[in-house]
Amino acid sequence: MNILGISCHYHDAAACLIKDGQVVVAVQEERFNRIKNSADFPINAINYCIQAGGITFDEIDHVGFYEKPFLKFSRVIIDHLQAWPYSLKNFMDTMPYWLQDRLVLPLTLEKEIGFKGKVFFIKHHLSHAASSFLVSPFEEAAILTSDAVGEWATMTCGRGRGNDIQIFKEIQYPHSLGLVYTAVTTYLGFAAHEGEGTVMALASVGKPKYLDQFRKIVRVKDDGSFFIDESFFGFNKGTRMYSGKFIKTFGTARLPGSALEERHCDVAASLQKFTEETLVTIARDLYKETKLDRLCLAGGLFLNCVANSKILEQGPFKEIFIQPAAGDSGGALGVASYVYHSILKNPRNCVMTHAYLGTEYSADQIKRILLNRNITFKEFDDVELLRYVAGEIAKDKIVGWFQGRMEFGPRALGNRSILANPCNPHIKEILNAKVKKREPFRPYAPLVLEEKAGEFFELKGASPFMLLAPMVKKEKREVVPGIVHVDGTARVQTVNINTNQKLYQLIKEFENLTGVPIIINTSFNLRGEPVVCSPEDAINCFRKSEMDYLVLGNFLVEKS
Amino acid sequence: MEVANSKISLEPKTICKRCVLPESRSDIWLDDEGVCNICREFEKNKEPEQQKTTFLESDFVKILNQNKGNGKYHCLVMCSGGKDSTASLYYMKKRYKVNPLAFTFDHGFETEDALENVRNAVEILGVDYLFFKSDFMKEMFAEIVKTGSKAILCHPCSIWYMGLTYEIAARFDIPIIIAGWTKGQTTQQPVMSRCGCNIHQTEFASMSKETRAFLDGYMKKNLKYHDFPRSMEEVLSRAKKRHKAMVLSPHWFLPTDAHAYVEILKKELNWKFPRLSYPALSTNCYLNFLSVYNSMKNFGYTHYHVEMSKMIRESLLSREEALELLAINFDRGVLDLVAQKLGCTFSASGTLEPK
């Protein structure tokens, strides 16, 4: 049975194909149309799912959509009415999309792919919950989801057992930790849905001087429920997400691109600290309710690896599974899983041990592209390649690493990655200057051999999806200065030989040369662009940057 | 066909360093770096990331669903027995589950291998089949060969074939004509309105001019062909008056490469490569050998060079692969046998002479 899951119309559009319960393909639309966080109907992603899944369009049995558009529309209408006339512009801007696209998905499916079958619309947060629990290794677990807003819900608590998910608590719009985080992100001069990670990094530089103010703006009860003082925000009143009252409390907003002041860092630190303590409170209450040792997390807020670590370290749960595509793209996977397992009552048979679910290119295809672009390259066998690349990384060279299937979700997990030497204390500056052009306070993440992670990090278990930020052991910080953040943490990805053998072997080679089982990994893209998808994208990115090498499969291109 | 072995040498001397087109003034010229104007134009017009001219499969499904109608046949598949057209027939029946009518055209020079491939395909797939064989064009082909005209033999043949296809589509009220044209045989158009080789491409300018000149002159003096269309445009314009059928190829919309579908065809349709054909791994007719010989002699390249160059630019084929496929794999014996069917001989000096 073939189930196609779709998420789109807001941001992070994606498609996912599940065949007899197995997630066979999952990919974001932005990778094809090259529009970062694209919200478009994911026609390219759907085409890829069909072709890579080895089926035809008429072999799709069911389609699942990651939310309920009419329920969401009711919230939007009420919200507009409540904010009238300030919401007029938003109303005028968004209504055409609602009427032409968002409310007519079955028609779009029939028109675009000829699908006339059953479309299941599942609540947004249930899709998130399913995206985590149904592909987790747990038979039974507590489930926590949180993001900006779905239909009405902004956060849900539930329990999963077998193929059943029960949501027993939800917090509704406008009371949303995700929206608060995004509003403050924009206040700090970063883009919504993109700059949240930057704010998380900035938080480490500041002090939580404004924590009490945030505690007053968002009042959290012992049971983890919370209430936002709306007078500080304007989620649907105009072009700005925060109000004049917010500015009076925290000072003038930072203009994008302007200098960062200490105050900005402190606001970020306060927001981050507040988010962490609230999530820990919620997690504790969830544990009380469920008495389960395992927790599944999904929703955009759980891309916040620092908060995730706090839940793991300070919360009562022994094990945590976080969906790697925790944002809305993961909703495509969640809804497809939910339709197959929970609605159609098929037993669970898929554990998501990796996120390599996207596009891949054969050696012949890559070679053809290199030849036809008149690019000089060397072809290696596996052993030679890994030895050579590890050696060059050890010499502080920057390597674009393009291998196998592309990752699903926002993180590059070693198949569409830029790699560098973590032992060089200046590597961050080199990476920023040559490729990433990032703010200087943002850290770079380490890939570490799973079995060696404990030697370097205060990490319980594995972190295969780079969604935890444990402390780097004090005695190791000088060994790998390139990956240590200001606060002593690192955004760790543990690498297991069974899920990415080539990457594992590369790190092993690097360890043989340097004694360090760690390599820096950052996403293979330039600032503001989606992660590369095809060899052509990788070549374009390589040409526009100052990377030293590009490795496409076993072909190595040196910057001339 | 048994042939004497005597190699011919027709390889172009200097070719573009990116694609496989030779310098051929005034259409194609190479710059100081040895890159042709067509490749330069391609580079200039589009950013590398936008250079893909393939469509999505869902576009094809959309076109089919919107246009296939409710008639007995949803599409007419031009099936020569080659890998691409047989794959098109296979896709229509098996992947898109529509009811096709297969149509094969034999001007008297089709190979037995190709025809056997078609017979196998239609039988195994269980599709209705029309086979049309006629030597109606033989005199025109002979005239081109005997007079040493630079007209491309394949051009009037394509005009005739397309005209017939449109007539059959009209007769059976079939709304869609399916060809086996590759991604190298189209320009980016949502729905095809021209023949696979777009003769308006720069690379075809001189060739199509010669064909047009031949047809204009020849048809004035030969009443047999007084109603023969002089160009593909005329075919389209006549067809449009009678019946609106669109022409497209599933290969433009699918990422599958030829190696993959050849394996399916071999396994499921008992399809075989012919013993002799040009370019390598193709299934073209015997007349094609003479057409290729004349094209190479008169212009230095063929429409296959144009097609493969386009595929190289879009990274669907490497230059090395193209050169291998385009290497002349036939000899004088083949040319002489075909020439004799047209009342000529292929002399040892490499010229075609009337018997």
Closest Cβ opposite residue B61 in set A44, A57, A371: A57
Nearest to A135 by CA among A21, A254, A223, A12: A21
Residue B188 banded pLDDT, cuts 50, 70, 90? very low
Residues of B in contact with A34 (CB under 8 A): 49
pLDDT value at residue A20: 97
Which of A158-167, B56-65, B191-200 is the most confident on average? A158-167
Mean predicted confidence (pLDDT) in A18-34: 97
What is the SS3 assignment for B129? Answer: strand
Among the ranges given (A178-187, A208-217, A437-446, B345-354), the one the predictor scored with the smallest mean pLDDT: B345-354
User: Residue A519 in 3-state DSSP?
Assistant: strand
Q: How far is CA A125 from CA A154, A531, B177, B268, in A?
A: 8, 26, 47, 46
Q: What is the 3-state secondary structure (H, E, C) of B206-274?
A: HHHHHHHHHHHHHHHHCHHHCCCCCCHHHHHHHHHHHCCCEEECHHHCCCCCHHHHHHHHHHHHCCCCC
Contact call for A43 and B56, based on CB within 8 A:
yes
Closest chain A residue to B57, measured at CA: A47
Among the partner residues B51, B56, B318, nearest to A371 by beta-carbon distance = B318
3-state secondary structure of A445: strand
Buried-exposed string A525-541: b where 16+ CB fall within 10 A, e elsewhere: beeebbbbbbbbbbbbb
Task: Give B254's contacts in chain A (Cβ within 8 Å).
Answer: 51
Residue among B61, B62, B319 minimizing CB distance to A372: B319
Instruction: List CB contacts (< 8 A) between B61 and chain A.
Output: 57, 113-114
Question: Do residues B18 and B35 touch, judged by C-beta distance below 8 A?
Answer: yes
> Of A96-100, A465-469, A538-542, where does mean pLDDT reach its minimum?
A96-100
The closest alpha carbon to A13, from A34, A35, A36, A29, belongs to A29
**Chain A residue numbers touching B51 (CB-CB < 8 A):** 536
pLDDT-derived band at B189, boundaries 50, 70, 90: very low
pLDDT of B54 strictly over 70: no
Q: Is A113 in CB contact (< 8 Å) with chain B?
A: yes
Neighbouring-strand partners of residue A14: A7, A28
Whether domain B57-252 has CATH 3.40.50.620: yes
In chain B, which residues have their Cβ closer than 8 Å to the Cβ of A374? 17-18
The minimum CA-CA distance between B88 and chain A, rounded to whole Å, is: 15
Domains located in chain A, CATH noted: 2-66+68-121+330-343 (3.30.420.40), 172-322 (3.30.420.40), 363-558 (3.90.870.20)
Average pLDDT over residues A414-426: 97
Give the residue from A64, A142, A148, A117 showing the smallest Cα distance to A338.
Answer: A64
Q: Do β-strands A62-65 and A118-121 pair in parallel, antiparallel, or remain unpaired?
A: parallel
DSSP state at residue A341: I
CA of A273, closest CA in chain B: separation in Å?
42
What is the pLDDT at residue B4? Answer: 47
Q: Of A489, A535, A495, give the one whose Cα is nearest residue A31.
A: A535
| Cis bond upstream, residue B279 (ω within 30) | yes
CA dihedral A256, A146, A351, A497 (to 10 degrees): 40
Question: Pseudo-torsion of CA A366, A368, A372, A375, nearest 10°?
Answer: 50
Q: What are the beta bridge partners of residue A401?
A: A417, A551
Q: A293: which 2 tokens? A: 């040792």
Share of chain A above pLDDT 90, in %: 91
How deeply is A299 buried, as exposed, middle or buried, from its count of CB atoms within 10 A (0-12, 13-18, 19+)?
Answer: buried
Residues in chain A closer than 8 A to B62 (CB atoms): 111-114
**Chain A residue with Cα closest to B18:** A372
CB contact under 8 A, B57 and A43: no
**Hey, what's the torsion of the CAs at A88, A94, A95, A96, to 10 degrees?**
130
**Lowest-pLDDT choice from A411-425, B43-57, B270-284:** B43-57
Contact A80, A90 (CB under 8 A): yes
pLDDT in tens, A265-305: 999 999 999 999 999 999 999 999 999 999 999 999 999 99
Task: Pick left, alpha or beta for residue B81 (phi over 0 → left; psi -120 to 50 → alpha; otherwise beta).
Answer: left
Residue of A nearest to B91 (CA): A56
Question: What's phi and psi for A401, nearest 5 deg?
Answer: -120, 110
Chain A contacts of B60, Cβ < 8 Å? none
The shortest CB-CB distance from A372 to any of B57, B58, B318 is to: B318
Mean pLDDT (chain B, rounded): 86
The alpha carbon of residue B321 and the mean position of all alpha carbons in its chain are separated, in whole angstroms, by 19
pLDDT in tens, A99-146: 999 999 999 999 999 999 999 999 999 999 999 999 999 999 999 999
Portion of chain B with pLDDT greater than 90, in percent: 52
Give the dihedral sign, CA A220/A226/A231/A232. positive
In chain B, where the domains are located: 57-252
**Percent of chain B whose predicted confidence (pLDDT) is above 70:** 90
- State the pLDDT at residue B198: 59
Position A238 scores a pLDDT of: 67
**Distance of residue A368 Cα from the nearest chain B Cα, in angstroms:** 5
Which chain A residue has the Cα nearest residue B92? A56
Cα–Cα distance, A41 to A13 (Å, whole number): 7
Comparing CB atoms, the residue among B18, B65, B96 nearest residue A374 is B18
Helix, strand or coil for residue A447? strand
Tell me how far CA of residue B301 lies from CA of B154, B184, B194, in angstroms: 14, 15, 22
Residue B9 binned pLDDT confidence (cut-offs 50, 70, 90): low
Q: How confident is the model at residue A222 (pLDDT cuts 50, 70, 90)?
A: confident
Alpha helices in A317-361 (DSSP H): 329-337
- What is the DSSP track for A180-237? HHHHHHHHTT--TTTSHHHHHHHHTTS--TTHHHHHHHEEE-TTS-EEE-GGGB-TTT
pLDDT higher than threshold 80 for residue B210: yes
Closest CA to A432 of A302, A281, A547, A299: A547
The SS3 call for residue A156 is strand
- Please tell me what DSSP assigns to residue B315: T
- Selection from A211, A158, A317 nearest residue A308 by Cα: A317
Chain B residues in contact with A114 (beta carbon < 8 A)? 58, 61-62, 64-65
Minimal Cα distance from A43: which residue of B?
A: B58
Using DSSP bridges, classify how beta strands A164-172 and A22-28 pair: parallel, antiparallel or unpaired: unpaired
Shortest CA distance from B64: residue in chain A: A114
pLDDT score of A515:
97
Measured between alpha carbons, how far is A3 from A8 in angstroms, rounded to an integer?
A: 16
CB–CB contact A57 B57 (8 Å): yes
Half-sphere exposure of A180 (CA within 13 A, CB side): 31
Query: What value does the mean pLDDT take over residues B54-83?
Result: 92
Token match 């993180």: residue?
Answer: A411
- For residue B199, the model assigns a pLDDT of 58
CB A53 within 8 A of CB A2: yes
DSSP string spanning A36-102? TT--S--HHHHHHHHHHTT--GGG--EEEESS-HHHHHHHHHHHHHHHTTTTHHHHHHHHHHIIIII
pLDDT category at A460 given cuts 50, 70, 90 is confident
Could you tell me the two tokens for B178?
């399916």
Q: What is the mean pLDDT of chain A?
A: 95
Q: In whole angstroms, give the CA distance from residue A429 to residue A421.
A: 12
Amino acid, single-letter form, for residue B352: L
